[in-house]
Amino acid sequence: MKVYFDNAATTPLDPEVMKEMVKVMESQFGNPSSIHAHGREARSLIEKSRKTVATLLKTSPAEIFFTSGGTEADNTAIRCGIIDHGLTHAITSHIEHHAVVHTLEALEKNGVIKLSFVNVDEKGSVDYNHLEQLLKDNERSFVSLMHANNELGTLTNMERVGDLCEQYNALYHCDTVQTMGHYPHDLSKLKAHFVVCAAHKLHGPKGTGFLYVNHKVKIKPMIYGGSQERNMRGGTENIYGIVGLSKALEMAYTDMAAHQAHIQGLKTYMMEQLAQIPGVHFNGETDADKSLYTVLNVSFPEMEMADMLLFNLDIAGISASGGSACSSGTNIGSHVLNGIGANPNRPAVRFSFSKYNTREEVDFALSKIREVCAVNA
């Protein structure tokens, strides 16, 4: 038996999404920028998809720009938001995704901004009082804080951050890659200037996503070329990916409550069973109201060959992650776990679930985990 518990890294493509994409691949090959019939048909698919996304998020199609994924969307929001608005100060946390932290650090290194880091506690929760102090003590700021941490699952209160940013006239960028399609987002009420999506995190295709830019904010393109995306992102559009994204998001919203109940049930059950293993510790928030229901981060007791834990789980047929998948293959420990002061001598595993996972798979994983822990006891 092989089980996949690395859905925070990427999710399986939904068969219905695949069908929608294949249908387009077979018949709609026109360049959306062409004015002939083939081009117009392709263009109509993109605009229909844009309207679908905007309707689900309760915003205007004019505020949705399709990208190659979350990293491009984050980079565009951060670089263009800061540079085009002449901002010289930014606030983030040490546990943000590298698409955010590395972009901001590059801007600081090049002398564009001064970068401040808001405090987070041992569960990865933002210190909102410190955030307000940073906003108060500095000139107009750019704030980038993710909705759910991709390694811990800890949720940030977007509404509270948005209110503080409004109070101090700051621009607010929120990386919503892990929560888009898992929670409803009402962008007509949220006081965020930028939010992002990567389709492959919600059973859509890799290589496509979008950036929401609030109509009150004007930015210039990061990628120049043609006049695609209303002159905001040069390059021939990924029609198949865009259609797949909108279909995946539409399906996610249709069955969101049922999927949340199912996945939360699996996470809660796994936590209850793992808690019976002496020395196990859960990283991040464990309260269901404060934690992303798809992510469970577990530190196991210190053991010999701790760095082999993931390898042993893989050999046993369990695909999981030791942290952010974007850092896999490096010998550098998780910057997120380092940021919350986790014990570096205890191996940590992120299990992340999807609608396709079952109780049987959790039981299989638990049996293998107990075997590995027993051998290393």
Q: Which residues are catalytic?
A: 326
- Buried/exposed code over 32-68 (b: 16+ C-beta within 10 A; e: otherwise): beeeeeeeebbbebbeebbebbbebbebbeebbbbbb
Q: Of 339, 377, 358, 361, which Cα lies nearest the Cα of 150?
A: 339
Enclosing H/E stretch for 197: strand 194-198
Residue with tokens 């010999």: 304
Which run of H or of E encompasses 368? helix 359-375
CA angle 195, 153, 274 (to 5 degrees): 165
How is residue 296 annotated by DSSP?
Answer: E
* Contact between 170 and 214 (Cβ < 8 Å): no
Per the structure block, which two tokens stand in for 223?
């990628």
Say if CB 82 and CB 90 are below 8 A apart: yes
Q: State which amino acid sits at residue 88.
A: T
Q: Does residue 175 contact residue 100 with C-beta atoms inside 8 Å? A: yes
How many helices (H) and strands (E) are present in the chain, helices listed first?
Answer: 12, 12
| CA–CA separation, 158 and 284 (whole Å) | 17
Element of type H or E holding 352: strand 348-352
Query: Residue 72: enclosing H or E segment and its boundaries?
Result: helix 70-84
Please give the Cα distance from 329 to 110 (Å, whole number).
28
Stretch (H or E) spanning 41? helix 37-56
